Amino acid sequence: TRDPAVNTTAESGGYRFRFATENNEPLQVGKATLVQINVADADAKDFRELEPVMGAFAHMVGFPADSASVMHVHPMGKEPTLVTERGGPELSFHVVPEKAGFNKFFLQTQIGGEAVFVAFGQNVQPAAAKAAAPAAASGYTCPMHPEIVSERPASCPKCGMKLVEKA
């Protein structure tokens, strides 16, 4: 559903999912933000039985209101290599929104062999105004791997994230 309501909790199949950002900071265009999803069961206990789905314990996609772009991220950390591995209750994602305004994030997990989908609505703030930077500071870097730098837009060879402009 494309309901434009902002929400940080969602339920599906008796499981509760909570969306939070590091230090409760708002999402902002071009700024890498750590998004944490917590999964609990019907008794509000941490759920640790997320199953691998397409090579990860979850997939999250985000769409701005105009649906003109899509962001697809996987949880940070070790990816499952065996179908018997389990994950949860915390899933951490590095999110770098591209458009301000309302964005809808859809999370896909798998529990008991069944796909479970939940949605979170979030308002993304416009990019912060930048002060003029010296020429030496220009360029692009990976939010996860600051040692990766480029003079032009690119993707990080280590994690695949889009490089962001240096501040």
Domain boundaries, given as residue ranges, for the chain: 9-129, 130-167
Q: List per-residue pLDDT tens for the chain, 167 residues long.
A: 467 789 999 999 999 999 999 999 999 999 999 999 999 999 999 999 999 999 999 999 999 999 989 999 999 999 999 999 999 999 999 999 999 999 999 999 999 999 999 999 999 999 987 655 455 556 888 887 777 888 888 888 777 888 888 86
Fold adopted by 9-129: Immunoglobulin-like (2.60.40)
113 token code pair: 């062999």
25 token code pair: 């900071």
Can you tell me whether residue 123 is helix, strand or coil?
strand
How far is the C-alpha of 157 from the C-alpha of 113, rounded, in Å?
33
Bridge-partner residues for 92, per DSSP? 36
